[in-house]
Amino acid sequence: MRCCQLAGSVDVAFFFIFLILGSPILAWVNVISVAMYVYAYRAFKQRRNSLAILLIRIEVLVHAGLGTVLVGWESGFHYFLLMFIPALFVSMHARSAWILAICLWIYYVALDVLMWYIEPLQPISSNALLGVHIFNLTTVFFMFSYLALYYVITVTRAHKHLARMATTDSLTNLFNRRHMIALTEKELARHHRRPRDLTFMLMDIDLFKQINDDYGHDTGDRVLSAVSQLLQESMREQDFIGRWGGEEFLAVLPETDTDQAWASAERIRKAVETLVVENDGARISVTLSIGITQYRAEEALSNAIARADHALYAGKSAGRNRVELALG
């Protein structure tokens, strides 16, 4: 759609340029070109993409050919044909793109060879021809630059989106288990080089299965999202938290001893206790059980997680909605 706007604006400029240069045929060709770009723009808005792309291809092929035949090869209208090449390979399957690229090459070469044997049908003065050449070259240069920038931005966004999908849980927007393990392993590597306090906090929503059974999984997902947002907002900048599985969450707290972690866990537990999720007039409250353990030098990550898990289920057994510290 942006290319339609740019190309249409260029053709409006060409209309006045060729009227001034005394080439009415090319001037009115540009009127038709503007109309085609307007129609293509509307087709894009209506999601009729195939029709819009077909109109653009026809316009560029015919316009470049007519401009070259009428004014001459030196006018530079053939440069616009080259803009098809990156667009073909970005927007189509490789086989189809190669077939169309070869057809484009044949058309380009045929147009070049033709102009060796015929004179321009509506020649213009050498100074005017130089001006048209520079105008076409400049337009194609900036449109190529714009397209290159657009493709770079699109690819960068796609990479970021894929990276987010690979590292983030889609429901809670917290880190997923795989990425949490990767981040924690990096943190452990730093801990081995320079030992410091490192605490793990394993959290589980109490009686979550009952919420799913009583209100349905959609409501359960809303509860998970609400609790996840609260947990994320409760973390410090250096902490990281992820969905460990189901309704269970793991937080890693660098440079934090057990006393600090306990205070943080109690603050989180109380915040979750006051959380209310609305569901068709019903007000759903949830609680959180939390197990805390401190990392021990050189131990495996799985051992530290297992200790936090034991502490968590000790809290569950003691009545839920509790913070428990792993002993021993």
The number of CA neighbours under 13 Å toward the Cβ of 33 is: 27
Annotation marks residue 187 as catalytic: no
Task: State the Cα–Cα distance between residues 290 and 270, nearest whole angstrom.
Answer: 11
**From 74, 247, 273, 299, the catalytic residue:** 247
In sequence order, the 6+-apart residues with CB closer than 8 A to the CB of 150 are 2
Pull the structure tokens for residue 231.
């947990």
For residues 65 and 111, what is the distance between their CA atoms, to the nearest angstrom?
A: 7
The H or E element containing residue 200 is strand 198-205
User: Measured between alpha carbons, how far is residue 257 from residues 96, 191, 200, 219, 241 in Å?
Assistant: 61, 14, 10, 36, 17
Using CB atoms within 10 A of its CB, is residue 234 exposed (0-12), middle (13-18) or buried (19+)? middle
DSSP assignments along 75-108, one per residue? G-TTHHHHTHHHHHHHHS-HHHHHHHHHHHHHHH
Query: Could you say which DSSP state residue 194 is in?
Result: S
First-to-last C-alpha distance (Å) of the chain: 65
Catalytic residues: 247
